[in-house]
Amino acid sequence: MALLLDIFGYLSVVLRGAVLAAQAMLLGGVIFLIAMRALLAAPTLARCARLVAWSALAFAFAELAFVLLQGLVLVGTLEITLGEALTAAFARADLISCAAAAAAAWLALSGAKGGRLLALAVLGLVILAAQVATSHAAARLEDRALPAFADFLHMAGAAAWIGGIPYLLIALSDRRDPTAGPMVARRFSQLAIAAVTALLAGGITMAVIYIGSFDALYGTAYGVMVSTKALLLSGLLLLGGMNYLMVERLYREPRAPIERLRRFAEVEIGLGLTVLFAAASLTSQPPAVDLVNDRVSWHEMVERLTPHWPRFESPDHASLALSELQAQIERAAATQSTRPEAYVPGEGTLAPRNAEDIAWSEYNHHWAGLFVLAIGALALLERSGRARWARHWPLLFLGLAGFLFVRSDPEVWPLGNVGFFASFRDPEVVQHRIFVVLLAAFALFEWRVRAGAWRRTGAALVFPLLTATGGALLLTHSHALSNVKEQLLIEITHVPLALCGITAGWARWVELRLESREGRLAAWVWPIAFVLVGIVLLIYREA
């Protein structure tokens, strides 16, 4: 139970992300089947129905795991029975949506047409309603109807658009009837326009209600996450807009190549899933409008983002700069201690950080920045075709992984007293270790790809998938700080890093999967994104 409590906050948001992703795939599939049933051949319809069934099972499994986790934590902390925990309003709603998803899986597997399709639609509505019943809107003190309706629209729109794309790809892969693909793609474009309208209407309404003011947009964690979601959404809309034009052309010339449409749709799925996990992180935040204390001011944000010369020497206690830094941290801590703090179980007993800790962390980030800047520059050099030796740039990532493994958590092995296995109880250490493993895997796979041995194999996809995952990981990376404002200031500096990582990953994906002008252009985009990551890391500050 102690271990469960330690990782509870971390695990609950991961499970929530899985629930939202499966929900989008399930509901998106049902909407797709209803809208396209007359256009699809029977084998394609059956493939789509199978994916709906698998999505429904994934949803039921993730939702059940989520509700059991919450229930077990209530049992462990309140000394009540699991039955008492699972009769709470949220648990009843979650269990209803589990049962509805299980029924949807059975219906989809037994052939999704006619009355069964109608029943699937009703089950989809039950699932959406149950999700709204456990949303921010349900917990508001008053005026719950409008935010609940906005949330319903937002989730339905996301499902119909993002969740529908995998089904579009299935339909486009059926080449037996060349006229069906363009018609399905065109109808999906029209459906997506309606879905985006619902998603934006719901999202903007919730942003107005839950954020409330411009200063909360950058001054609170909730506002920053919503802003980041909006940036990712604008990238998705750009891709969607390009695909819309492509679909219109395809409708006029059914023999036109659809490779670009399919590859951009894949990137849309990846970005869409990133947005859904960001949304899961958002549900664990208090709405910005409720957080009236500890907001970051415009001045504080600008001050933090103003570049300083990087720190390339190890921290030194005796230096004057550190004494000043320590005084600054103590002043910030003094203002914090008079305010009530709130944590999820397993957190809230964090040790305060001192100037030496911060100097240590900045030193790590700045050296990492040098590594990444060198990697980006070498990748650009390789791309220019003027230096063949530069293709060995992935090996620099091995150096970076080793550096981070030793330095990122000084309290654990090999530098500290906490053992290697014992350190896995700290979610922040686990996140750092995942980064190290991702970096090492990335380095080895990409080095082999650059050497030519694995160029045409699935190994080439390790680069885009790990980079995009790493970027998404950074988007929601947390630092163990007891001061809410300081934590937010650090997260603000992580947002550009995350966005550059996500851009780099999906640009490389397009380069690998699309042999056209867009693919060649994307080959320049990702090294530039790496250079930008290097520069942002070099000017990174924690105080």
Partner 1 sequence: MQRRSAYGLAALLLAAALGLPPAARAHAIIVAAAPGPGEQVKGPDVPVELRFNSRIDRERSRLSLLRSSGKPEIVPLEASGAPDALTGKLQALPPGSYRLRWQVLGVDGHITRGDIPFTVVP
Question: Of residues 226-285, which lie at the interface with partner 1 (CB under 8 A)?
Answer: 262, 266, 269-270, 273-274, 276-278, 280-281, 283-285
Q: Mark residues 153-172: x for contact with partner 1 by CB under 8 A, - for none.
A: -------------x--x---
Q: Does the protein bind partner 1 through residue 326 (CB under 8 A)?
A: no
Q: Does the protein bind partner 1 through residue 148 (CB under 8 A)?
A: no
Q: What's the min distance (Å) between Cβ of 294 and partner 1?
A: 10
> Residues with Cβ < 8 Å from 324, sequence gap 6 or more?
none
For partner 1, the closer of residues 72 and 406 by Cβ is 72
Q: How many CB atoms lie within 10 A of CB 451?
A: 12
Q: What's the min distance (Å) between Cβ of 14 and partner 1?
A: 6
Q: What's the min distance (Å) between Cβ of 277 and partner 1?
A: 4
State which amino acid sits at residue 343.
Y
Q: What's the min distance (Å) between Cβ of 224 and partner 1?
A: 11
Positions in 467-506 near partner 1 (CB under 8 A): 468-469, 472-473, 475-478, 491
C-alpha pair distances (Å), 378 with each of 180, 386, 431, 459: 46, 11, 28, 21
Q: What are phi and psi of 418, to 5 degrees?
A: -75, 130
Question: How many Cα neighbours within 13 Å face the side chain of 518?
Answer: 15
Q: What's the min distance (Å) between Cβ of 373 and partner 1?
A: 25
Q: What's the min distance (Å) between Cβ of 487 and partner 1?
A: 8
Only segment of 96-104, 307-315, 333-341, 417-425 that touches partner 1 (CB under 8 A): 333-341
For the chain, the residue count is: 543
> Residues with Cβ < 8 Å from 528, sequence gap 6 or more?
376, 380
Positions in 72-91 near partner 1 (CB under 8 A): 73-74, 77-78, 80, 84-85, 88-91
Is the CB of residue 15 less than 8 Å from the CB of residue 153? no
For partner 1, the closer of residues 70 and 373 by Cβ is 70
Q: What's the min distance (Å) between Cβ of 299 and partner 1?
A: 24
For partner 1, the closer of residues 9 and 315 by Cβ is 9
Task: Give the one residue of 134, 423, 482, 493 binding partner 1; rule: CB under 8 A.
Answer: 134
Q: Does the protein bind partner 1 through residue 465 (CB under 8 A)?
A: yes
For partner 1, the closer of residues 137 and 329 by Cβ is 137
Q: Does the protein bind partner 1 through residue 339 (CB under 8 A)?
A: yes
Which contiguous run of DSSP H or E holds residue 75?
A: helix 42-78
For partner 1, the closer of residues 117 and 459 by Cβ is 459
Q: Does the protein bind partner 1 through residue 21 (CB under 8 A)?
A: yes
Q: Rounded distance, CA 375 to CA 534, Å?
A: 9
Q: What's the min distance (Å) between Cβ of 406 and partner 1?
A: 22
Positions in 341-370 near partner 1 (CB under 8 A): 341-345, 347-348
Q: What's the min distance (Å) between Cβ of 400 and partner 1?
A: 19
Q: How many CB atoms lie within 10 A of CB 245?
A: 11
Q: Mark residues 189-228: x for contact with partner 1 by CB under 8 A, - for none.
A: --------------------------------x-------
The footprint of partner 1 on this chain (CB under 8 A) covers a number of residues equal to 81
**Residues β-bridged to residue 412:** 418
Only segment of 120-128, 317-325, 424-432, 445-453 that touches partner 1 (CB under 8 A): 424-432
Q: What is the DSSP letter of 459?
A: G
Q: What's the min distance (Å) between Cβ of 525 and partner 1?
A: 18
Peptide bond into 464 cis (omega under 30): no
From 55, 56, 58, 84, select the one nearest 70 (Cα to Cα).
Answer: 84
Q: What's the min distance (Å) between Cβ of 16 and partner 1?
A: 9
Positions in 47-76 near partner 1 (CB under 8 A): 70, 73-74
For partner 1, the closer of residues 17 and 203 by Cβ is 17
Q: What's the min distance (Å) between Cβ of 115 and partner 1?
A: 30
Q: Rounded distance, CA 255 to CA 350, Å?
A: 61
State which amino acid sits at residue 520.
R
Q: Rounded distance, CA 260 to CA 174, Å?
A: 16
Question: SS in 3 state form for 357-426?
Answer: HHHHHHHHHHHHHHHHHHHHHHHHHHHHCCCHHHHHCCHHHHHHHHHHHHHCCCCECCCCCECCCHHHHC
Q: Rounded distance, CA 214 to CA 298, Å?
A: 10
Positions in 284-323 near partner 1 (CB under 8 A): 284-287, 290-292
Is the CB of residue 99 less than 8 Å from the CB of residue 123? no
Q: Does the protein bind partner 1 through residue 417 (CB under 8 A)?
A: no
From 120, 118, 126, 121, select the one nearest 94 (Cα to Cα).
Answer: 126
For partner 1, the closer of residues 502 and 538 by Cβ is 502
Q: Is 69 exposed, middle or buried (0-12, 13-18, 19+ CB in 10 A)?
A: middle
